[in-house]
Structure 1
């Protein structure tokens, strides 16, 4: 126990010495804020430390001179957002105030300046600058400017909550900057089959809405907004399935020989009277029937600007799906069959799915590719 306490005391002493040395190093390197923090931490552990008591006032004054100089430079600039730079420097000085006030020993040698009132005033000025920029952008009346205005009003509210009518103007900016994309009904062109692609469209709309691709882009199902006279779409997304083909059922029959070496009791016995195991080879013939139906299709889509009927994006996405069923029988020794052979023999002859089901299966890869394409397009929009 005594040995443990001795090691603990040495470790604490090492930490104290390191902290003091670290504070001096930071001060000599001109990292005055970090030096203040290091000296205060040292004084919280050892209030009478001579080095910290001596160097802390110098470090604090050097840090204050640095931040006040930068704040004055910012105020003298023509930058619209200069108040945010001033705010940054004032916050840095306020953190030094809070740190020193947390230690009675530090507070005895340094009387830090409280910037809390000044920060409140600076926040007001910074919020006003953002607010004014937002109002000017909103007056342009176009979507890109409205989106920028939304960001400016958001920044103003972050600096000063409930600043003027920034909340109301931000909502206006959002409404102007929003792009409403309507997903139209899907046309399926097939010379042999008639399909409905409602499930595909339903899944696509839900997915695009849930992905939150872009805060200023919203997707709607045409069926839900068709009769809403207040709704104004900005873009239409038109889709058409082309060249959808369900192939004929292709049947392949083949057989293969299988064998396996197994152990069985022989005619000879050991000294205990137990039959000695011997290797034998068992054989069988597996007859396999494979039924395959290949389906493929092509989705043509384009995104059109409603105002000028300009095509914003157009592409074709291929898709395919192959249905396959295998089953089998065997002749010979069942022990020669592998687990895979047994599964085949346990299968049965079933008819292919109806064309509508095959259509939905081939749309799965098309859907994934299309959703990815749209996310890429609208993320940068």
Structure 2
């Protein structure tokens, strides 16, 4: 038992030594925040351990150096007087505030090595932090305006994200809510969707409506809106054209065939007789029975109904401003109606199990041409959805 306790203590001691060495390395490399976070973690876990003193000393050193680095950087950036530096200044003040909040719950921290409490100069940065935040927000607002002025889709989208950042920093800042909506509107690709039926066949109105209803395709693109009817005051830069070039409907076909089923089956039993015609008995005196077999036969009349439709075309991505095609994707689907049923004559015992599945089926009226096209449209919708998902509008 003592040996086990000793090994555990040794393992803890080695782990503690390793953490101190790792923290010393962080400080030596100038990774002060990593050193602070590691020391705080160790002290939160156990501030009375043998190695806590070493972590306290390293924490004080790392804190002083980190604060010195940040304050010197802030002073330099302020002297440089570049509005673009407002972001860095704001985050530097946040870092200064964060470090203090990290250490404050642990104070006071007494060090035997130093012979005193560790010194952490805690400063109220609230005034500077608020001023830096306001300067940063003002810079973002100006930057977003500059992107809006370029009047390009990509720039409107960049402006939108900047307005979102402003909204997170300070909700309801000036007219950001309105500007964000405006940036989203102008940054959106409005796509006009149309269908051209060049097949020479009439397609069901329901199919046309479903193919053009892009809300059912689950595309969920924040920057793309699909319209199948032109709306006023919207400039459609891009278009998607679904061309149906060929709708080939095969005629109704009925194919009949006859299959003969033969089996040798058990058909009752009879007593075993000897040469003299007497019943043979077993050792207990019971009559011996033997199975009787007979040959049976049935005729199976199988009828197959079939009808098919092939819909072929293509999907064209089009630049409506330049009036040129951007991409062209083939699109086709085949739908086959098939029904198989059967009747029989003869001894049903000759039939197979699968024969009964056909016998239980019945003749089904052939679907109309329009219904066939509508059924093929379900597959067309799936294939169109894949094209839309796999190919960006731009």
TM-score, normalised to structure 1, is 0.77
Matches within 5 A, 1:236-275: 236-256=239-259, 266-267=269-270
What is the CA–CA distance in structure 1 between the aligned matches of 2:71 and 2:180, rounded to whole Å?
34
In structure 2, relative to structure 1, the CA distance for the partners of 1:347 and 1:212 (3 Å cut) is same
What is the CA–CA distance in structure 1 between the aligned matches of 2:339 and 2:147, rounded to whole Å?
63
Report SS of the residue matched to 1:29.
helix
In structure 2, relative to structure 1, the CA distance for the partners of 1:306 and 1:9 (3 Å cut) is same
Q: Confirm or deny: 8 A CA contact 2:318 2:325 kept in the other structure.
A: yes
What is the CA–CA distance in structure 2 between the aligned matches of 1:277 and 1:341, rounded to whole Å?
27
* 2:209 match: 201
* 2:387 match: 373
* 1:27 match: 23
Output the aligned Cα RMSD.
4.0
Deviation at 1:218, TM superposition (A): 0.9
What is the CA–CA distance in structure 2 between the aligned matches of 1:353 and 1:97, rounded to whole Å?
77
* 2:167 match: 157
Q: Does 1:311 align with 2:311?
A: no
* 2:43 match: 43
Q: Confirm or deny: 8 A CA contact 1:296 1:320 kept in the other structure.
A: yes
C-alpha deviations, 1:178-225, integer Å up to 9, x for none? 2322323x343444x422344343354243674222x22211231xx5
What is the CA–CA distance in structure 2 between the aligned matches of 1:362 and 1:294, rounded to whole Å?
9
Q: Confirm or deny: 8 A CA contact 1:177 1:216 kept in the other structure.
A: yes
Q: Confirm or deny: 8 A CA contact 1:285 1:331 kept in the other structure.
A: yes
Select the residue among 278, 301, 308 that pairs with 1:287: 301
Report SS of the residue matched to 2:213.
helix
Deviation at 1:326, TM superposition (A): 0.8
C-alpha deviations, 1:22-69, integer Å up to 9, x for none? 531331221543332333333334434433333321232344445556
Q: Confirm or deny: 8 A CA contact 2:32 2:63 kept in the other structure.
A: yes
- Unaligned segments of structure 2, at least 5 residues: 111-116, 272-280
Deviation at 1:344, TM superposition (A): 1.3
After TM superposition, the structure 1 stretch with the greater mean CA deviation from structure 2, 366-375 or 130-139, is: 366-375
* 1:219 match: 226
Q: Confirm or deny: 8 A CA contact 2:212 2:228 kept in the other structure.
A: no
Q: Confirm or deny: 8 A CA contact 1:304 1:310 kept in the other structure.
A: yes
* 1:97 match: 100
* 2:336 match: 322
After TM superposition, the structure 1 stretch with the greater mean CA deviation from structure 2, 47-56 or 280-289, is: 280-289
Select the residue among 154, 174, 197 that pairs with 1:188: 197
Select the residue among 126, 141, 146 that pairs with 2:151: 141
Report SS of the residue matched to 2:363.
coil
Paired residues, what number? 368
Q: Confirm or deny: 8 A CA contact 1:299 1:318 kept in the other structure.
A: yes
Q: Does 1:299 align with 2:340?
A: no
After TM superposition, the structure 1 stretch with the greater mean CA deviation from structure 2, 264-273 or 344-353, is: 264-273
Q: Confirm or deny: 8 A CA contact 2:256 2:302 kept in the other structure.
A: yes
In structure 2, relative to structure 1, the CA distance for the partners of 1:70 and 1:362 (3 Å cut) is farther
Report SS of the residue matched to 2:174.
coil
What is the CA–CA distance in structure 2 between the aligned matches of 1:29 and 1:339, rounded to whole Å?
79
Matches within 5 A, 1:46-125: 46-48=46-48, 49-65=52-68, 67=70, 81-106=84-109, 109-111=118-120, 112-113=122-123, 115-125=125-135
* 2:274 match: none
Based on CA coordinates, which of the two structures has the bigger radius of gyration?
A: 2
In structure 2, relative to structure 1, the CA distance for the partners of 1:345 and 1:74 (3 Å cut) is farther
What is the CA–CA distance in structure 1 between the aligned matches of 2:295 and 2:10, rounded to whole Å?
78
In structure 2, relative to structure 1, the CA distance for the partners of 1:16 and 1:36 (3 Å cut) is farther
Q: Confirm or deny: 8 A CA contact 2:256 2:301 kept in the other structure.
A: yes
What is the CA–CA distance in structure 1 between the aligned matches of 2:164 and 2:43, rounded to whole Å?
42
Q: Confirm or deny: 8 A CA contact 1:327 1:345 kept in the other structure.
A: yes
* 2:114 match: none
Deviation at 1:308, TM superposition (A): 4.1
In structure 2, relative to structure 1, the CA distance for the partners of 1:261 and 1:19 (3 Å cut) is farther
